[in-house]
Amino acid sequence: MPISIMSTAIPDVKLMKSDKIHDERGFFSEVYRRSDFEAAGLTVDFVQENHSLSLPVGTVRGLHFQSHPFAQGKLVRVVRGRVFDVAVDIRRSSPTFAQHVTAELSAENWQQLWIPPGFAHGYCSLEPSCDIIYIVTQYCSKDHDHGSLWNDKDIGICWPVDESSAILSERDRAHPRLGELPAFFS
């Protein structure tokens, strides 16, 4: 059951889709296969799995990233609900610096988003009680954990929630704009 890997507007970010085999008991799906990643030129080593629950619609988490030596690549999927997912290129030397890719990830469409190191990541819940699972290539490190302002006009993300009704942590509301960040990824 190969995983189909599709390019996005930013070539380093990939959208993935796994097949599901259904029967009377439910389904089975391979959601990660190293050989499929390697065939697509992606050599990664996942070290940690994270699970996030966003209860109310309009919950925004992000834009988060970790700096070196704990920069993380993430493979993100939704196992319950539906989210608007965003990856922002924060690599200063990249031709796509400050550009972003969005995807709707849901339990229904069963798509995943590969976000390599050097990208800030965030999402907004589109349904109540969204369960998001993502596996990462580096361990979480509070000393290397950073963020960029979710609604930075210079990035220009068209979030599916109004700024006044978005539900964010105080930390996420206080992140600096992308132009104010140090060059974590040159």
Positions marked catalytic: 64, 134
Mark 139-160 as b/e (b = at least 16 C-beta within 10 Å): eeeeebebbbbbbbeebebebb
Strand partners, 132: 52, 78
The structure tokens listed for 143 are 């000393």
> CA-to-CA distance for 9 and 101, rounded, in angstroms?
7
DSSP 147: E
Separation in Å, CA 132 to CA 13, 25, 50, 154: 18, 23, 8, 27
Which H or E run includes 179?
none
Closest CA to 71 of 37, 4, 121, 1: 121
Q: Provide φ and ψ at 34, rounded to 5°.
A: -55, -40
